[in-house]
Chains A and B, each alone.
Chain A
Amino acid sequence: MTMDLMGFILVALIAIATAIGMLYSRNAVYAALFLVLNFVSVAIFYLMLGAPFVALSQVTVYAGAIMVLFLFVIMLLGAEKLPPAEVLPWQRPLAFVLALLLFIEGIYWLSVKAGTTAQIASPDATIGTMDAVRSMSMMLFQEYLLPFEVTSILLLIAMIGAIVLTKRVDKKGGQA
C-alpha cells in the first residue's frame, strides 16, 4: 500500500462521502456546501493526475464562482427546505435500482471490456512546470481555436439569456 494509494483512497472516500452527503442533506445550503467539498476533493484528484491548471480552474470556477452563485440563489429564494411530501412513491426505489444497474454497467465496462491497467504515478516535476500550461495553451489557441471562439459566443448567449429570463415584466407591458 503506497502513499499514493492511501492518499487516493482517502480523497476518494471524502469525495464519495460528500456526494452522498449532498444527496441526503435536507437543507439545500448543506447540500451546496457538501458539493463544494466534493469539488475540492476532485480538484485534488486533478493535482494527483498532474493537471494543476485544471485543478485550479476547478477550484475557482466550480467551487468559487458556480457554488457561490448557487448559494446566492438559495439565499435569494429562501427555499432551503421543502415540506416532506412525496407524490411519486415508486420513484425512489426505481431510481435506486436503475442507479445500481448503471453502476454495475460502468464497473463491468471498466473492468471487463475496457480493462484499463495503466498505472498512474505521482506527478513528476515536468508536469507541474509552466511548459505544460504553455503547450496546453498552444493546443487551445491553435488546434481548438474554433471551439474556443464558439465557447465565447456561448457564454455571451448565456449572459443575455440569464438577463432576459430574470427580467420582470409588469402587467402593463412596461419594464420594471
Chain B
Amino acid sequence: MVPVSYYLVVSVILFTLGALGVLIRRNALVVFMSIELMLNAANLAFVAFSRTFNSYDGQLFVFFVMTVAAAEVAVGLALIVAIFRSKHSIDVDQLSSLKG
C-alpha cells in the first residue's frame, strides 16, 4: 500500500527537476528533454489521481498529453534543426538577437 501522496511527491520532484533543467542547461536539445520530463511529471500526477478517484479521465488526459507532446517534439526538433542551420549552434544563449 502506497499513499497516493508519495506518487505526487515524486511528480513534484520530477517537475521541479525538469524546470531546473530548462533554466540551467544551454543545450537546446536538453532543454527540450527537460520539458518532456515536466510533461511526464504531470502525466504521473494525472494517472495517480485517476487511480485515486477510480476514473479513466486522468488516463485519457495522459493520452492526449502524449499526443500533444509528440506533435510538439516534431515541430520543436524541426525548429532546432532550422536554428542550427542558420546559427550553426544549438546553444540557446547564442540566440539573443531579441536583446532589448
Contacts and interface: CB of A to CB of B under 8 A. Distances in A.
The answer to whether A and B touch in the complex, with CB atoms under 8 Å apart, is yes
A118 B52 contact: yes
Given A15-B10, A87-B93, A22 B21 contact: yes
B30 to A, nearest CB: 5
Contacts of B15: 102, 106
Interface of B: 1-10, 12-21, 23-27, 29-30, 32-34, 36-37, 40, 43-44, 47-48, 50-52, 56-57, 59-60, 62-64, 66-75, 77-82, 84-85, 89-91, 93
A117 interface: yes
A110 B30 contact: no
B6 A158 contact: no
Interface of A: 2, 4-5, 8, 12, 15-16, 19-20, 22-23, 28, 31-32, 35, 38-39, 42, 45-46, 48-51, 53-54, 57-58, 61-62, 65-66, 69-70, 73-74, 76-77, 79, 82, 85, 87-88, 91-92, 95-96, 98-99, 102-103, 106-107, 110-111, 114, 116-121, 132, 135-136, 139-140, 144, 147, 151, 154-155, 157-159, 161-163, 165-166, 168
A120 B27 contact: no
A121 B3 CA distance: 9
Given A54-B62, A57-B66, A117-B5, A16 B78 contact: no
Contacts, number: 228
Q: Is the interface of B mostly helix, strand, loop or mixed?
A: helix
A148 to B, nearest CB: 8
B17 A16 contact: yes
Nearest to B30: A31
A168 B86 CA distance: 11
B1 A119 contact: yes
B50 A51 contact: yes
B12 A107 contact: yes
Contact of B34 (A2, A22, A82, A159): A22
A12 B10 contact: yes
A8 B1 CA distance: 10
B93 A49 contact: no
Contact of A92 (B24, B84, B91): B24
